[in-house]
Amino acid sequence: MSTTSVASEEDRSEASFISGNPLAYVPGVLLLIVIGLLGKYAQIGWNALAKHEHWTVPDIEYVLWAIVIGLLITNTVGVHRIFKPGVQTYEFWLKIGIVALGSRFVLGDVLKLGGTSLVQIVVDMAVAGAIIIFAARLFGLSGKLGSLLAIGTSICGVSAIIASKGAIRARNSEASYAIAAILALGAVALFTLPPLGHLIGLSDHEFGLWAGLAVDNTAETTATGYLFSEEAGKIAVLVKSTRNALIGFVVLGFALYWAARGEADQIAPGFTSKAKFVWEKFPKFVLGFLAVSAVATAGWLTKGQSTNLANVSKWAFLLTFAGVGLNTNFRELARTGWRPLVVAIIGLLVVATVSLGLVLLTSRVLGWGVHT
Amino acid sequence: MSEPSPKSPVEAPWYARVGVDWWATIVAGVITVLAVANLLPKIPW
């Protein structure tokens, strides 16, 4: 899920399908399509104009155009409520895009990159989580808000916070604060990491790893990766999906911690109940991604059909990026107060620095990496 | 991510209860099956 509007977490929990009437989704989905197409053709038009006028300007990617157009609309005229149900489906398109993107990965590379990034994720999570919990205490935030911020920053942004809220019995206000702070960071990362990556001279593979490790929400992670390059976007999606797959274990850990202190519901003893808990939190679209990757690895797709699936993925991501912009509302963010935001900014800086260090260490010193 | 189940006074529609993860997997899965069967029309970009 994403971005900076601060709706109640109940609204967000099933944010992709918020209406019982299928027709209610049509206007918003059409808006996503229009903004996506505007973004795509703005890139083409901008490049043609620059060429015609002999300007030396950077190539502004369709990803950025789509996000900025959406962002301008939502922060100026606003999004009418008739569009809301359809606009909220952007997470649905994101996941379709991720599953279809499986066709561009050989299963062996997925397992290899997933395995190596798992080590980086665990180190990143442990260091960042500990620092965020410490910073939360330093700024006088509640223990549970600190836990939510640590979970959101180290794992999977808003979805992880929502998944944890019930398990650790956090208050609505704590979840809303954590959501707002995490969402603000997604927007910050989106606009800062790609230029930083170019400045540092990261390769596509390195930047994809960095974005996958450092950016909290899957939609923003995907956008950040694709803003750098298509190859970086693919790697970012894979690493982030690995991160997402760990959500159940992390939430279980925090739930057990708070239950032991008598401040959350007890989880039934035994392996089966814990395995059930982890499965309930597991992001099932990761299984779809692996299945499509297996199909591609088995050679069941012609070259043309493989390209078709890759293009399905690009179209789905285009709608996602439009949705990211439309859901980034800075006015609502400003209402949430500065302290959770400061802790989250510390979290972003820590996660970005630690993950960049890990990426450079593993790729340039240890020589880890795969080619996709 | 997965489908958290908050307590809500209004019951979610059946397709929301299935969850966005499964729906995305089903839709992309159908598209992939069409691609394997070579029935997916050319998708331009």
Q: How many CB pairs under 8 A join A and B?
A: 126
Considering CB atoms only, which of A163, A218, A284 is closest to B22?
A: A284
Instruction: Count how many domains chain A has.
Output: 1
In a domain, residue A61? The reply is yes
**Model pLDDT, residue A145:** 80
Burial (Cβ within 10 Å: 0-12, 13-18, ≥19) of residue B41: exposed
pLDDT for res A156: 66
Residues of chain B in contact with residue A18, where contact means CB-CB under 8 angstroms, are 16
Q: With an 8 Å Cβ cutoff, are A284 and B23 in contact?
A: no
Residue B40 has pLDDT above 70, yes or no: yes
The CATH number given to whatever domain includes residue A244 is: 1.20.1530
Q: Which domain holds residue A32?
A: 9-365
Secondary structure letter of residue A335 according to DSSP: T
Over the stretch A140-169, which tens digit does the pLDDT of each residue have?
778 878 888 888 777 667 767 776 776 677
Rounded mean pLDDT, A217-235: 91
The verdict on a CB contact (< 8 Å) between A283 and B22 is no
A76 occurs within a structural domain: yes
Residues of B whose CB is below 8 A from A292 = 28-29, 32
Selected residue with higher pLDDT from A218 and A184: A218
CB of B14 within 8 Å of a chain A CB? The answer is no
Mean pLDDT value of segment A232-253: 86
Q: Which of residues 16-45 of B touch A (CB under 8 A)?
A: 16, 19-25, 27-29, 31-32, 35-36, 38, 40-45
Taking the CA atoms of A220, A181, A323 and A36 in sequence, report the sign of the dihedral they define.
negative
- Residue A1 resides in a domain: no
Q: What is the rounded CA–CA span in Å between residue B3 and residue B21?
A: 8
Examine the pLDDT at A25 and tell me if it is beyond 80.
yes
Retrieve residue A289's tokens. 């991604």
The rounded radius of gyration (Å) of the Cα atoms in chain A is: 20
In this prediction, residue A20 has a pLDDT band, given cuts at 50, 70 and 90, of confident
**Within 10 A of A164 (CB to CB), how many other CB atoms are there?**
31
Contact flag A284-B25 (C-beta cutoff 8 Å): yes
Residues 6+ positions from A107 with CB-CB distance below 8 Å: A290, A293, A294, A296, A297
Q: Is residue A295 part of a domain?
A: yes
Inside any domain, residue A2: no
Quote the pTM value: 0.80
Residues A340 and A142: beta-carbon distance below 8 Å: no
Determine contact, residues A219/A1, Cβ cutoff 8 Å: yes
Write out the DSSP string of A344-360: HHHHHHHHHHHHHHHHH
Query: Nearest CA of chain A to the CA of B10: how many Å?
Result: 10
- Residue A279 in any domain: the answer is yes
Half-sphere exposure of A122 (CA within 13 A, CB side): 6
Pair A155, A244: CB distance under 8 Å: yes
User: How far from A4 is each of A15, A127, B33, B41, CA to CA, in Å?
Assistant: 14, 25, 36, 37
pLDDT in tens, A27-47: 999 999 999 999 999 988 888
